[in-house]
Structure 1
Amino acid sequence: MAVSGCSIVLKDGELMGSSRLDLKTTMESVRNAGGNPTIAIHFHGGLVGQSDAEGAASKLAPEYASTGSVPIFVIWQTGLFETLQNNWKEIFKTEFFEGILERVLQFLVGRAEQPPGARGAPLDVPHPKEVRKEVAKRKTGEEPYQGLNPEPAKMAPDLTVAEDQQFKEAILKDASLAASAHAILKNADVRQFEPELQDAIRDSEKEMAAGGRGLITAFVLGVAVKAFMGALRRLNRGRGHGLYVTAVEEVAKAIFAADVFGRFAWNAMKQDTKDAFQDGDERFGGTALLYELEQIWAHGLRPRIVLVGHSAGAIFVCEMLKAAAKRLPADIKFEIILLAPACTFTLFDSMLTLAPDRIAAFRCFGMSDEFEQKDAMLGNLYPRSLLYLVSGALEEAADEPLLGMQRFHSRKSPFSDDEIPGIKRVIETIGSREHTWIWSMSSIGAGFDCGAASHGGFDFEPNTLSSVKHILQNGT
């Protein structure tokens, strides 16, 4: 007898509506049907809200069921895309942000194009009008300075006396930058700014009220120096995302608080995956899943359990495996399918440490870096994929290694085993079998094909979906 499966809806990790009853009914049907079916538990990505996630689940359910699997969809109310899209559009509307960005780009270009042996002299920087003309290419879908790939050695963050003086003078003499800073500070909510700046902003507000401007100048200079040095450090270490994109990430982080550019929302979303495994199977969705799986085991059934995690859904998968290691019998193991996983290598490594024997099989599908760089999730403002934004701005460390980004799998500098040992541990622990990591475009054969060219396209891209269905039906 076929079991139809269900969807469960979570908010802040807690079960909503009839979700607990629906899950219980589905799992009772599995027990009553007997045999050892495949239970496919799907965790959607972080960009979609509840309505879109429910729509996707209704379309995927018959696809998964056609393999003989019992599909369970965990809908966990994220909707991160709308937050990111709205907030970043507002960031780019800020004249002060654009002004700092142009100055940082001006001096990054000057350093990148500095001739050999010229250190010590002032930089030959492009005129601000040239920079604005280049930045304006965004309007036609072009990435500013796309062809400029500076040698890391040229981007050393130790400024010469001449460079330091030249940069600071350019900032201090920029009247439009000072005016935009005055405008943004005059009516700003101090909480929208980076925490280190908040005291300076309060002092600036007091000085403005008294007719002074000195602290505004210090505020502008502090932001510019922080962004410029942050970009230089990353480009020097080979950890940039392209000259323009790196500048955008570092300027946003230098000015704005975490809730403005999306880090707060991203961290809250990650916390939701942890909260789902708190004590109480009648209340928390992840704990309810583990409880029902344990009941199936107690009835003598031994189903295949396949966890499918797309994007931030991979974070949910990691948290489930960590919780399973603490709560479930040792012989309950999971097969894992990840689609463009947005989890960090650090999280995945910690999961493997806590649950080393819980993964029975594993396959990961992701975009090749070529497509990752072209997948402009925020249009011409930020011409990279969600994973690039997560790695470069939303995670605490700049260029945080993510499991689903091909660039971190090279194991060559700056991602060598000595520099980032966690990458080595993960790849050697999980990737011993051939074709564990599949990067688009791939047409190796059944279960190994992937044609996804956008982060949001993995669930329904025909070749990738065919591979997922093949694994559900036949294993890896």
Structure 2
Amino acid sequence: AETQKVVLHFHGGLVKKAKALAKAEELTPVYQAAGAHPVFFVWESGLLETLSHNLHEISKEKIFKILVKKVLKHAAGKLFDTGPAKSATGVLQLPTDIEVAVELQKLEAGEEPYGHLKAPADLDDLTDPQEERFESELSADSQFSKEVEAIVAAAHPEQIETTAKGVTAVDRKSGRTLMSPEVIDELVEDRSQAEAAGAKGVLSTAKLVLKAGKILFRVVRRMRKGRGHGLYVTVVEEILRELYIANVGSEVWGMMKKETADTFENAGKDPKRGGWLFVEELGRLSQQGHRPEITLVGHSTGAVFICHLLAHVAAARQDPDHPLPADFTFKNVVFLAPAVSCALFADTLDKYAKLMDSFRMFTMTDANESDDTLVKVIYPRSLLYFVSGVVERETNGAGTFDLPLVGMERYFTDAGTYSMAEVATVRDYVQAKDTRAVWSDEDRGEGLASNSFSHSDFDEIGQNPDGSERTTMKSVQHIIAQGA
């Protein structure tokens, strides 16, 4: 008899439930045409909605615009300071305000300001006098001082807006800005201390000026070490991490990932959870002689879900009381633009690689990843860039930057900068077979073609905007029908 085929599709969790269910309906005939019975794991977070709403709002803030201009101006001056023209005194030749404004205008056209400016080989860290020059220029800026005063004047008790699941989406403490509540608290405290000392004006911006100095230092350091995401994008990331972290979707993102692990918690106990219950059912079917070929497809955060599933299945295989056969494996594992960290996937590979008969990832080249705009007015790179640069956390919960993600080509092509063990593990595994990664736009024949140019395009069917046929899901169909 012909082996039955089953596809377990883990969607990205980024959109609302209704949209995810519509996607499941759309993909059902695609999987059926490949001879497989599809099962969809759907969960929702509303992350894209939160990000889009908050980033649009932040982009309009006066304080944000002032900080971007100032930090960008001094960081660009530092990068221009190279070669024979390098200043002997360390006093930077800064671009003019007009030159910076012209670069920022590029955002309107969907381009990246200073997009072609690379860190020179002789770039060094920001010096103390260079940081002090920046801080005194910012302190002396009357618009900046006025705006800080207005933010403090508009301070109010904390107001929290949550997603449908009760996760914080907006955490506001001033009517004028989405800066994190603890930052507003510091600004308010700054002013009261200044007033208590009988001073007005300049002193009450001191804390924010020092924070801005730290931001500039970190931007230059990241660019120097090859950990920048392009100059402008790195400036935005560092401002958001330092001043707006409560409102950049970090909590929604963390909760979304947690849900993909929680579904396998407390197996066999009430309340019943979809993840472990499904694996139990799979075991029962196997005992009745049903051993289908199973393909796992994970889009975006769906790849995180798959890592937790593999861990649970590995434990079930070793449990004599679990109905799942001890030799159970998955025929194919397919990642579509995976938003999983190299740390989690490296751990998964170390422990559970034997559960995957074959692996293939479809994702973008770095050039296409960089061109995939998340929010035009503020962040011209992709969702994965934003997750890596702003939203992700270290395993201990600490904030981080440029966190290596499996779906981003930069971590595969620059082994010198990214020599960390977890990145090397993933890189070595993916590069061990040339069929393990397809970098869009690429066509190496059936099952090895992808022409998705946006994070959300990988599970799309039909035609691209230019009329060409979308090939990523065609490749996935081929893998299911013919094997990878």
| TM-score class, shorter | 0.7 to 0.9
1:401 aligns with 2:387: no
**TM-score normalised over the length of structure 2:** 0.85
Contact 2:228 2:402 in 1 (8 A): yes
Shift in CA distance, 245/152, structure 1 to aligned 2, threshold 3 Å: farther
Could you tell me how far apart the structure 2 residues matched to 1:52 and 1:58 are? 10
Q: Which whole-Å CA distance do the structure 2 matches of 1:188 and 1:120 have between them?
A: 43
* CA-to-aligned-CA distance 1:148-207 (integer Å, 9 cap, x gap): 2231532x2241x43133112111111111111121222235665457646523413534
Q: Distance in 2 between matches of 1:188 and 1:310?
A: 41
Superposition pairs of residues 284-363 of structure 1, within 5 angstroms: 284-328=273-317, 329-334=325-330, 335-363=332-360
In 1: Cα distance, 2:256 partner to 2:388 partner: 15
1:73 aligns with: 40
Q: Alpha carbon RMSD of aligned pairs, Å?
A: 2.1
In the alignment of these two chains, the number of paired residues is 437
CA distance in 2 between counterparts of 1:243 and 1:407 reads 16
Residue 246 (structure 1) aligned to one of 194, 219, 234: 234
Secondary structure at the counterpart of residue 364 of structure 1: strand
1:395 CA displacement: 1.1
Shift of 1:472: 0.7
Give the share of equivalent positions with the same residue, in percent. Answer: 33
- Match 2:21 to one of 29, 40, 54: 54
Map of 1:124 onto structure 2 = 93
Could you tell me which amino acid in structure 1 is paired with residue 15 of structure 2?
V
Q: Does 1:200 align with 2:178?
A: no
Q: How does 1:219-238 map to 2 (within 5 A)?
A: 219-238=207-226
**Contact 1:178-1:220 at 8 Å conserved across structures:** no
Q: Tell me, which stretches of 5 or more residues in structure 1 are unaligned?
A: 1-33
Mapped partners of 1:73, 1:151: distance in 2:
48
Judged with a 3 Å threshold, the aligned counterparts in structure 2 of structure 1 residues 214 and 327 are, in CA distance, closer, same or farther, namely farther
Q: Is the 8 A contact 1:40 1:69 kept in 2?
A: yes
Gaps of 5+ in 2: 159-170, 173-178, 318-324, 394-399, 462-469
How far 1:215 moved relative to its partner?
Answer: 5.0
Specify the alignment match of 2:424 in structure 1. Answer: 424
Kept in 2: contact 1:375–1:385 (CA 8 A): yes
What is aligned with 1:148? 117
Aligned to 2:57: 90
Query: How far apart in 2 are the matches of 1:73 and 1:290?
Result: 14
Cα distance between partner residues in 2 of 1:157 and 1:113: 13
Shift, 1:54, TM fit: 0.8
User: What's the secondary structure of 2:334's corresponding residue?
Assistant: strand
Q: CA deviation at 1:378?
A: 1.1
SS at match of 2:68: helix
Alpha-carbon separation, structure 1, partners of 2:371 and 2:377: 11
Report the CA distance shift for 1:206/1:409 in structure 2 as closer, same or farther (over 3 A): same
Deviations 1:64-120 (A, max 9, x none): 011221100111012211111001111112211111111100101111111434153
Counterpart amino acid of 1:204?
Answer: D
Residue aligning to 1:382: 379
Report the TM-score when normalising by structure 1. 0.87
Partner of 2:321: none
Match of 2:78 among 111, 130, 149: 111
Partners of 2:10 and 2:299 within 8 A in 1: yes
Whether the 8 Å contact between 1:35 and 1:301 is mirrored in structure 2 is no
What is the distance in 1 between the residues matched to 2:220 and 2:181? 22
* TM-superposed deviation, 1:52: 1.0
The answer to whether the aligner puts 1:413 opposite 2:416 as a matched pair is yes
Q: Is the 8 A contact 1:41 1:72 kept in 2?
A: yes
